[in-house]
């Protein structure tokens, strides 16, 4: 280790920054976040630094650096862009035993400034010792994505209760276990949900020992997106790594299930058109039973749980049984598949509205409000439409849609085996059969489909000029 990582209290200190350009501005911002007093010495100042001075956040002295500037600061930053001057400042600071940082010149620094993840009072500093600052920034970005923004508030809560917990649990091991439970369980979850008062109540309950014998379980209804694991939300990923039981159905890609906690129990509940490993009532009952047993259960669904996902019914049962739950939205198939196929769902020239409809009704029929669907300047995204594709396309034409209306099928959208078929509404059923297109697939109907010729980005062959005929085209 070439550097000792330390955190310095600068609240009652004065720091000197020489230079007032863009780079100096970033350093000043960091110093101000640490509540330092900042004096800036520079002959000129960029607009942002001048604005800080005008707002009274810093003291700006528009002049050149002089050695007596070293009389009072606790810390010095040289950011002048003039190597000779920076070296002179560094030498003076070292002579006065003041820690000095020279921007982009580790050799002249007695301290370096790390990349920071700020969840105050939790602060994470990442440094490569000046060897590869870009790597430090990449690592910081990774940390940013996995540490919820509300970690700081959780730390504050834990701080507020430190004395009380120490009194109640004088034994170190018991105390550590208590805090671990608070930081990974329902106390933390309430805080991450933004329910600070509920978090306080959970913590008090935990401390009172009321639920130690039977910890209360909860259910996370999480949208896993259309298939590409990169499309998961941060919250989804965090809860997936926390839950002890995963209840998932067929539409959730195996790579997504793999991201769940390794030791989590996995329960497959099927769900294919008319073929369910468990029916909906059994799934609802299962969720209630598991959470009543104190488990943290993730109910993982494809796409978004509230779009053709029956999420509402599952949550309704939980609510009726007084079980805690959270709902995490996911990218729905229409958005994910359209984006990966290069078909914008709306476009100022072609579609000002987009309808999401299901081609599979509760009673098994394909009855849709055809007059609402057949409108100009509109895109239709049809979920679960493959089974009734003949009738769907025929009805749209019968209700006035031009047989030449562009239409596409996106099969296994966003996944490695994604296929896209572009045709017209009249030819789509035959083309789909010829090419053996099957579920999971979404049908997109509307003028916007034409844009795929220019906007497809996943397949290299999609960059070829558009064919002239309306014959089906494969993507």
The one segment of 104-112, 258-266, 434-442, 458-466 that binds ligand SAM by CB under 6 A: 434-442
Residue with tokens 């350009």: 21
Main-chain dihedrals φ then ψ at residue 136, nearest 5 degrees:
-60, -40
Per-residue tokens: 334:
């229409």
Minimum distance, C-beta of residue 394 to ligand SAM, in the bound complex (Å): 19
Q: Is 35 a catalytic residue?
A: no
Does 332 interact with ligand SAM (rule: CB under 6 A)?
yes
Main-chain dihedrals φ then ψ at residue 334, nearest 5 degrees:
-60, -45
Q: How many CB atoms lie within 10 A of CB 299?
A: 29
**List 69, 92, 249, 453, catalytic entry:** 249
* 6 CB-side CA count, 13 A: 9
Of residues 414, 423, 432, 452, which one binds ligand SAM by CB under 6 A?
Answer: 414
Comparing CB distances to ligand SAM, the nearer of 419 and 473 is 419
DSSP, res 141: H
Q: Please classify residue 105 by burial: count the beta carbons closer than 10 Å to its beta carbon, then call 0-12 exposed, 13-18 middle and 19+ buried.
A: middle
Minimum distance, C-beta of residue 418 to ligand SAM, in the bound complex (Å): 7
**List 27, 69, 92, 271, catalytic entry:** 271
Minimum distance, C-beta of residue 305 to ligand SAM, in the bound complex (Å): 6
Of residues 20, 420, 442, 456, which one binds ligand SAM by CB under 6 A?
Answer: 442
Comparing CB distances to ligand SAM, the nearer of 162 and 273 is 273
Q: Give CA–CA dist 249/305, Å, rounded.
A: 12
290-309 binders of ligand SAM (CB under 6 A): 301-304, 307-309
204-233 binders of ligand SAM (CB under 6 A): 226-227
How many residues does this entry show for the chain? 475
Comparing CB distances to ligand SAM, the nearer of 157 and 222 is 222
Radius of gyration of the chain (CA): 30
Q: Is 271 a catalytic residue?
A: yes
Per-residue tokens: 15:
């720091």
Residues in contact with ligand SAM, counted by CB under 6 A, come to a total of 24
Q: How many CB atoms lie within 10 A of CB 144?
A: 16
Comparing CB distances to ligand SAM, the nearer of 25 and 360 is 360
Q: Quick check: 3 and 127 in contact, CB under 8 A? A: yes
- Catalytic positions are 249, 271
- Judged by the rule CB under 6 A, the positions of this chain that interact with ligand SAM are 226-227, 251, 301-304, 307-309, 332-333, 337, 383-384, 410, 412-415, 439-442
């Amino acid at each position: 280790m070439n550097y000792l990582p330390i955190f310095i209290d600068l609240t009652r200190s004065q720091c000197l920054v020489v230079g007032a350009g863009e780079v100096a501005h970033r350093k000043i911002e960091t110093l101000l976040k640490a509540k330092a007093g900042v004096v800036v010495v520079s002959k000129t100042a960029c607009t942002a630094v001048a604005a800080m001075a005008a707002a009274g956040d810093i003291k700006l002295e528009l002049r050149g650096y002089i050695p007596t500037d070293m009389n009072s600061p606790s810390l010095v930053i040289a950011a002048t862009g003039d190597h000779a001057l920076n070296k002179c400042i560094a030498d003076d600071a070292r002579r006065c035993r003041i820690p000095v940082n020279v921007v982009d010149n580790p050799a002249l620094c007695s301290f370096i400034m790390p990349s920071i993840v700020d969840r105050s009072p939790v602060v994470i500093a990442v440094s490569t010792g000046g060897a590869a600052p870009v790597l430090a920034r990449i690592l910081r970005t990774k940390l940013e994505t996995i540490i919820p923004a509300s970690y700081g508030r959780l730390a504050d809560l834990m701080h507020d209760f430190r004395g009380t917990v120490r009194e109640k649990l004088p034994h170190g091991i018991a105390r550590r276990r208590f805090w671990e439970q608070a930081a990974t369980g329902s106390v933390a979850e309430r805080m991450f949900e933004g329910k600070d008062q509920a978090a306080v109540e959970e913590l008090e309950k935990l401390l009172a020992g009321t639920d130690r014998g039977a910890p209360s379980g909860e259910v996370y209804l999480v949208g896993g997106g259309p298939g590409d694991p990169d499309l998961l939300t941060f919250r989804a990923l965090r809860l997936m790594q926390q839950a002890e039981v995963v209840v998932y159905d067929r539409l959730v890609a195996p790579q997504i299930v793999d991201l769940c906690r390794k030791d989590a129990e996995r329960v497959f509940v099927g769900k294919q058109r008319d073929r369910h490993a468990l029916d909906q009532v059994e799934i609802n009952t299962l969720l209630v039973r598991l959470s009543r047993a104190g488990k943290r259960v993730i109910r993982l669904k494809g796409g978004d749980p509230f779009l053709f996902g029956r999420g509402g019914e599952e949550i309704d049962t939980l609510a009726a049984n007084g079980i805690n739950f959270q709902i995490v939205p996911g990218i729905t198939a229409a958005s994910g598949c359209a984006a990966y196929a290069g078909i914008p769902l709306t476009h100022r020239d072609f579609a000002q509205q987009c309808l999401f409809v299901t081609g599979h009704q509760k009673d098994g029929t394909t009855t849709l409000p055809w007059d609402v669907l057949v409108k100009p300047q509109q895109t239709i995204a049809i979920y679960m439409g493959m089974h009734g594709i003949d009738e769907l396309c025929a009805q749209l034409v019968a209700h006035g849609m031009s047989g030449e209306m562009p239409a596409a099928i996106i099969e296994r959208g966003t996944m490695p085996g994604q296929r896209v078929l572009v045709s017209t509404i009249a030819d789509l059923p035959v083309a789909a059969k010829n090419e053996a297109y099957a579920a999971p697939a979404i049908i997109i109907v509307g003028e916007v489909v034409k844009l795929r010729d220019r906007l497809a980005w996943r397949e290299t062959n999609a960059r070829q000029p558009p064919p002239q005929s309306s014959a089906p085209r494969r993507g």
